[in-house]
Amino acid sequence: MIELLVVIAIIAILAAMLLPALSRAKQRALQTKCLNNQRQVGLALTLYENDSQKLPPSASQVADFMNPKAPGWEVNALYLIGPYLQGESRKSSQVFVCPNSKKADVVEIRPTEFSASSYFPNAVVMERSSGSAPNPSETIFIQECIWVISYTALRPGVAADFQMGSANDYTYWHDNLTTGKELYSTVHNDGGNFVMIDGHAEFRKASLLRAKHFGLVNGSSGKAEDTQKASSSAVYKSIFTAPAQ
């Protein structure tokens, strides 16, 4: 009997030691799958630009973005790069979703039969060529969110869409206001995966992110060196001096 109790105790100790390691290994696997998804998205962006001579349109807040019965569905970035990822099928591809992200807490924006994404394009670089960015390998095109939603949401977005500035101003490159916790680029071990404007994908810690990595410069209330501790609703200008064509 004593021997059995000893064996049980040893098994319990080993389980307590192994479970955290298994959990970390699972999280690393999910992070790697997400990064592979984003690499595919980066390649799709490159192929789209090769065909169109510029990056996708700047339509934002497009609800049910893959649904042909929804307004604006045919002119948003995720829909337009879809064929490069999933052929002619118009339903949302799993490649737009990080396996570690969860359905949004807000019921109205949760995934639909057609549309699901946890990846958010950057309005600053829309409708431009990748070569026009001063440093395309360091300028973020897509970041990720801890929520899966049914919208093509541009982040940072045009400030005018939030009644906070003009069409040449940008805001919400991160979001710690909606729920009180940071929603963007904190999905994996306090960081996130990113697609850069040159098409490559990489992981970065959220603490290393700055507004300037999204092509933002000093604006009316935001600074290029702002971190995620800055106000989410700070307003910035773009690094691009000429309007998108």
At 198-214, the pLDDT tens digits run: 888 899 999 999 999 99
**Which residues have C-beta within 8 Å of that of residue 74, sequence separation ≥ 6?**
68, 80
- The pLDDT of residue 214 is 96
Exposure b/e, 160-185, CB count within 10 A at least 16 = b: ebeebbeeebbbbbbbbeeeeebbbb
6 pLDDT band, cuts 50/70/90, is low
- The pLDDT of residue 85 is 86
Q: Is residue 218 part of a domain?
A: yes
77: containing domain? 24-238
Strand runs (DSSP E) across the chain, as ranges? 62-63, 102-103, 117-121, 140-149, 151-152, 157-158, 170-171, 191-196, 201-205, 216-217, 237-238
Quick check: 25 pLDDT over 90? no
- The pLDDT of residue 23 is 54
Query: How many structural domains compose the chain?
Result: 1
Q: What is the mean pLDDT of residues 140-150?
A: 95
Q: Is residue 159 part of a domain?
A: yes
Query: Residue 115 is which amino acid?
Result: S
Q: Is residue 4 part of a domain?
A: no
Q: Which range, of 62-66, 128-132, 158-162, 218-222, averages the lowest pLDDT?
A: 128-132
Q: Is residue 6 part of a domain?
A: no
- The pLDDT of residue 60 is 84
Quick check: 11 pLDDT over 70? no
**Which residues have C-beta within 8 Å of that of residue 165, sequence separation ≥ 6?**
159, 171, 219, 220, 235
Q: Which range, of 70-74, 95-99, 146-150, 207-211, averages the lowest pLDDT?
A: 70-74
Beta-bridge partners for 202: 194
Q: Is residue 87 part of a domain?
A: yes
Q: Which range, of 22-26, 80-84, 112-116, 201-205, averages the lowest pLDDT?
A: 22-26
Quick check: 69 pLDDT over 90? no
Chain mean pLDDT for the chain: 86
Better-predicted residue by pLDDT, 72 or 113: 113
Q: Which residue, chain included where needed, has tokens 């789209």?
A: 48
68 pLDDT band, cuts 50/70/90, is confident
- The pLDDT of residue 108 is 92
pTM summary value: 0.85
Quick check: 19 pLDDT over 60? no
Q: Is residue 11 part of a domain?
A: no
Q: Is residue 13 part of a domain?
A: no
Tell me what percent of the residues of the chain surpass a pLDDT of 90.
Answer: 47
**What span, in angstroms and rounded, lies between the C-alpha atoms of 142 and 153?**
10
DSSP state of 108: G
Exposed/middle/buried for residue 214 (C-beta within 10 Å: 0-12, 13-18, 19+): buried
Q: Is residue 106 part of a domain?
A: yes
216 pLDDT band, cuts 50/70/90, is very high
